[in-house]
Amino acid sequence: MSGTLSANVKPMKIDAGPLGSLYVTGALTGMAMWQSNTVPGDEDAQVDITNGQVVVQKVDGPIQFLLEGGSYSFPTVGSAYLRAGHTTSATFGGLPVWFVKFAPNDTFSVQAGDLPTLIGAEYGFTFQNVNIQRGLIWNQENIINRGVQANYTVGPLALSLAWSDGYFSDRYSWITGLATYTIDPANSLAFSAGGSVNTETINTFVTPILQNNSSVYNLVFSHTSGPWTVSPTVQYTNVPSDAKIGTLHSLHTFGAGLYGIYTLDGGYSVAGRFEYISSSGHAGDPGLLAFGGPGANAWSLTLTPTWQNKFFFARGEVSYVKETSTTPGLVFGASGNSTSQARLMVESGVIF
């Protein structure tokens, strides 16, 4: 959990006999949304479940595991909203995250299964993040991948290395690494990188062919001072020239973001996010972003006030996206020619 929403500090504990103690947690949340310049197939206003998930995990001993099951959606700025039922069936199914972990000691572990990505500053599900929607930079990253991951901690340095199927392609051709250095209790620096070592021609909703054949690099710094937490991040992605995936020359994106949280008394907090992303490309090239066509750029601003009282939380959100260097017909609105979109959202529920 990050920032504004807190997990249950006393989760349900079950005595599972030879398995030992199991802990049961979860999230039941829903949202209402209004947006401008809606694209065809989306709706101006809608209500939906964002999370209906239960997590069962064993967190001690040399053999541990986690099972996270249920329904979910991934609201993202600049992208049409896909309802939870369709998202679940079109992406990672009813058991999106599961793994078995071997942890012989406190410094080393190996885990295998459907794993959360090591890349980026934001998590996948809404209740894990300080904003309801994911950002422009997050939209270039994978969310969950099948694979094996090793973790090692030495002093202030934490290292992870994974062999996986990238964007859930079921082809094990990705290597990903994460190094996090805790400078002191108030400051940390994380660098993550991943990429495909083989050309894969799979192209589905959950496995976009360009991103699945890309390399991605993220640098995230985090600083806490009193009620403030500030995290600047930069991202670079590259797609090689390869006729098999339809690229005549290499393409890339560059993104930068600034995330901030201000915590107040009484369970209140405010989170903000500013991002910018640019993409390369000319007429005839495939577009690397979810909007705008080749060579499109965009910036976004998101503000999310939040209140939480024990299990229950409620938060609102206002976001704005502005796009430039776009291809007519590939942006927002009924005709695809509007270059901006505003959204108002509320999300509420329980984290148990």
Per-domain boundaries in the chain: 12-351
* 3-state SS, one letter per residue, for the chain: CCCCCCCCCCCEEEECHHHCEEEEEEEEEEEEEEECCCCCCCCCEEEEEEEEEEEEEECCCCEEEEEEEEEECCCECCCCCCCHHHHHHHCCCCCCEEEEEECCCCCEEEEEEEEECCCCCCCCCHHHCCCCCECCCHHHCCCEEEEEEEEEEECCEEEEEEEECCCCCCCCCEEEEEEEEEEECCEEEEEEEEEECCCCCCCCCCCCHHHHCCEEEEEEEEEEECCEEEEEEEEEEEECCEHHHCECCCEEEEEEEEEEEEECHHHEEEEEEEEEEEECCCCCCCCCCCCCCCCCEEEEEEEEEEEEECCEEEEEEEEEEEEECCCCCCCECCCCCECEEEEEEEEEEEEC
State residue 65's pLDDT score: 98
State residue 2's pLDDT score: 61
pLDDT in tens, the chain (352 residues): 467 899 888 899 999 998 899 999 999 999 999 999 999 999 999 999 999 999 999 999 999 999 999 999 999 999 999 999 999 999 999 999 999 999 999 999 999 999 999 999 999 999 999 999 999 999 999 999 999 999 999 999 999 999 999 999 999 999 999 999 999 999 999 999 999 999 999 999 999 999 999 999 999 999 999 999 999 999 999 999 999 999 988 999 999 999 999 999 999 999 999 999 999 988 788 989 988 999 999 999 999 999 999 999 999 999 999 999 999 999 999 999 999 999 999 999 999 9
Q: What is the pTM of this model?
A: 0.94
Fold of 12-351: Porin (2.40.160)
State residue 8's pLDDT score: 87
